[in-house]
Structure 1
Amino acid sequence: MVLLRDGMCPGLDEGLVRGLRAADIKTVEDLVSSDMEELAQRCSVSYKALFAIRRVLLAQHAAFPVSGADLYEELLSSTAILSTGNPSLDKLLDSGLYTGEITELSGGPGSGKSQVCFGVAVHISHQLKQNVIYVDTTGGLTAGRLLQMLQAETSNAEEQMEALQRIRVFRLFDVFSLLDCLYGLCGGGLQRASVGGGSVKAVIVDSVSAVIAPLLGGKQNEGMSLMSQVAGVLKTMAKDFNVAALVTNHVTRSGGGGGGGAPALGAAWSHIPRTRVLLEKGGDVRRPGLRSATLIKSSRRPLLIKEEFDLKWWSRSKEEGGGAAAAASGKRKRDETDS
């Protein structure tokens, strides 16, 4: 909404602005949508002069029409797909994390949300040679864990250090600090965080619910407002800076006690992520790292499809797994080429 003001275009002087405001025409939108003949009479101004002002304002402020084909071409040229490093998750996500979008991992305690985030950060920084912003709101991220995963990727200490430098960590434990951080990233922090020739391609927030959920419920309207602000800045960052935003969310258990659950933060938040994945522990006690991932929201794939994966995938050395490791290495090379 653009307010009318003196000097916006030829003919729109202070006197005419006062006359328009007296006629309850205060914005460009008000003027261009008005009946020009009636408005000219009410403001005692020439119809021809008012019509000329309207035409100039339309040219200055109206959006230019864009065809669907142009929008599709823009999407293809601007969107990148970042592999998670795990073939099963990539299959579930239709090849990986999409830049310009928010992807959510939800699950209960021990479901592997943070471990997946660690693995994704390591894969993007080491294999794709891109920078990652990691916002830790639970205190669960340690440099030692990242280094352990990198040591499984490469034995070269220099490569390990370079990859660690491409992961910039922010430890924040309240929603106000989170907002300050996200606004700062949008205000130039993403560019400053780019090191080693790569750009920031992923922003991970683990967990978004940890700082928002305590403010929701009851009569605390402030919590909903703060959640909306977090959602807005995340969506703006993903779209305007062409990054993939990955967030984690807790689940709320159903009253039946059957072990099922739904992502926390309610219906208002459910519209924010473009893709949502529910992580759950596997049932095989012989494979404690086994997890199931169920697609519960997507615009690209059928819902409720499920994939199983092992959390140890990101921590195993390249020598383990024989042909599977070779296949994963080949996929990583394709990912580097695609990026």
Structure 2
Amino acid sequence: MVVLREGMCPGLDENIVRDLRAANITTVEDLVASDTEELAQKCSLSYMALLAIRRVLLAQHTAFPVSGADLYEELLSSTAIVSTSVPSLDKLLDSGLYTGEITELSGGPGTGKSQVCFAAAVHTAHQLKQSVIYIDTTGGLSASRLLQMLQVQTDHVEEQMEALQRIRVFRVFDIFSLLGCLHTIRCGGLQQASLGGGSVKAVIVDSVSAIISPTLGGKQNEGMSLMMQVAGALKTIAKDFNVAVLVTNHVKRGAGGELQAGLGLSWSHVPRTRLLLERSKSPGPLLGSTRTATLVKSSRQPCHIKAEFDLNWVSGPEEGLLGRKRARDSSDS
């Protein structure tokens, strides 16, 4: 269900939304299913205005059939691939994060989800010279870590600052703030973020489960509706603006003790591609830094293939951050 909000379409202002709610019309489904003429009389609203609003909302939220050939042509003309900057993960993802799609990293605490998000943001901002929208829902975004990654890639302070300016950060800590943030992005936030240089090519939400999970414990129906509104907003942003959306999710144990991504079956259909991150049993270049990624959902690659990566990398899993800095420092001395 999609809740009616002011500004969803031309003509749907605050007064009309208030009158519709007074008539128990709170969602797009309610409005579409109602008798427009009867509703106009009941709410003392213009029949023609309500009819126009209904038509626009139907066009926005109704699926129209397209041919496979049209979809393939659209794919060829619009899709770009954004690297995570981690070769082993890019290989699992069939080259990287695809624009127009949602990619999910699921894993427990300390498995590297945020570090991969940092790396993808830094690579997009510095190497690609494109903008990134980073939605931080846990307070875990580390500006010093972003700068540290940039310092390994370039010694020029000006380049570092330009890259940081291309990463626009939103901090939200509840689902209503997240929905408001996504609405802002859809209604002009992407253009504003592009003012720092380059178009927006990635939207990162770290973590989506930290916001959604608390809503699923109380009124189940309401929480599920809010979760699917978040999913719909993310899909719309990915598709309509041709950006790569990267989200992180927690994990839980299944009936057989296996790790599974959180948020349940309904959410499992949202990401196009999903990686499960775990602590690796084999030692990395630096003690405890090696992680394992498993491809658990993909339409391009065989599932359940694995790859290892090092949390201390910047450009690749074989070269840790400290090792690269030491090598560069020794060559400078």
TM (norm. structure 2) is 0.74
Gaps of 5+ in 2: 1-34, 37-58, 315-319, 328-333
* 2:273 alignment partner in structure 1: 275
1:264 pairs with 2:269: no
C-alpha separation between the residues in 1 aligned to 2:178 and 2:113?
Answer: 19
Are the counterparts in 2 of residues 153 and 318 from structure 1 also a CA contact under 8 Å? no
**Per the alignment, in what secondary structure is the counterpart of residue 312 of structure 1?**
coil
Is 2:181 aligned against 1:181? yes
Contiguous gaps of at least 5 residues in structure 1: 1-25, 28-60, 323-339
Whole-angstrom CA distance in 1 between matches of 2:262 and 2:147:
31
Deviation for aligned residue 1:143:
1.2
Counterpart position of 2:46: none
1:128 aligns with 2:128: yes
One-letter amino acid matched to 2:84: T
Counterparts of 1:96-245 in structure 2, within 5 Å, are 96-217=96-217, 219-245=219-245
Counterparts of 1:318 and 1:161, CA distance in 2: 24
Instruction: Assess if the C-alpha contact under 8 Å between 2:292 and 2:307 holds in 1.
Output: yes
- The 1:283–1:318 alpha-carbon spacing in structure 2 relative to 1, beyond 3 Å, is closer
CA contact (8 A) 2:131 2:197 kept: no
Q: Which has the larger radius of gyration?
A: 1
- For residues 247 and 174 of structure 2, the distance between their equivalents in structure 1, rounded to whole angstroms, comes to 15
In structure 2, give the amino acid aligned to 1:284: S
Alignment of 1:316 onto 2:321 = yes
Report whether the alignment pairs 1:70 with 2:70: yes
How big is each residue's C-alpha offset from its partner over 1:243-301, in whole Å with a ceiling of 9 and x where there is no partner? 00000000012466x5x311110000000000000000111345311010000000000
What is the one-letter code of the residue matched to 2:103? T
2-structure distance, mates of 1:144, 1:319: 17
Deviation of the 1:64 alpha carbon = 9.7
The residue that corresponds to 2:39 in the other structure is none
Deviation at 1:70, TM superposition (A): 3.5
For each residue in 1:38-84, what CA deviation from the matched residue of structure 2 results, as whole angstroms up to 9, or x when unmatched? Answer: xxxxxxxxxxxxxxxxxxxxxxx9x9986533331221110000111
Mapped contact 1:133–1:169 kept (Cα < 8 A) = yes
1-structure distance, mates of 2:202, 2:65: 31
Displacement of 1:318: 9.2
Q: Which residue of 2 aligns with 1:55?
A: none
| TM superposition shift of 1:104 | 0.3
Deviation at 1:312, TM superposition (A): 1.1
Tell me, what secondary structure is at the counterpart of 1:138?
A: coil
State how far apart, in whole Å, the 1-side matches of 2:65 and 2:252 are.
Answer: 44
Compute the RMSD of aligned alpha carbons: 2.6
Residues 133 and 65 (structure 1), Cα distance of their counterparts in 2 relative to 1, 3 Å cut: closer
When structure 1 is superposed on structure 2, of 196-205 and 290-299 the one drifting more is: 196-205
1:319 Cα deviation from its structure 2 partner: 5.0
Whole-Å Cα distance in 2 between the matches of residues 66 and 274 of structure 1? 19
Q: Residues 188 and 311 from structure 1, CA distance in 2 versus in 1: closer, same or farther, beyond 3 angstroms?
A: same
Amino acid paired to 1:233 = A
SS at match of 2:71: helix
Q: CA 1:229/1:312 → structure 2, altered by over 3 Å: closer, same or farther? A: same
Measure the CA separation in 1 of the matches of 2:218 and 2:190.
36
- Corresponding residue for 1:39? none
Q: Distance in 2 between matches of 1:95 and 1:243?
A: 15
Q: Measured at CA, do residues 159 and 133 of structure 1 come closer, stay the same or move farther in structure 2, by a change above 3 Å?
A: same
Give the TM-score taking structure 1 as reference length: 0.73
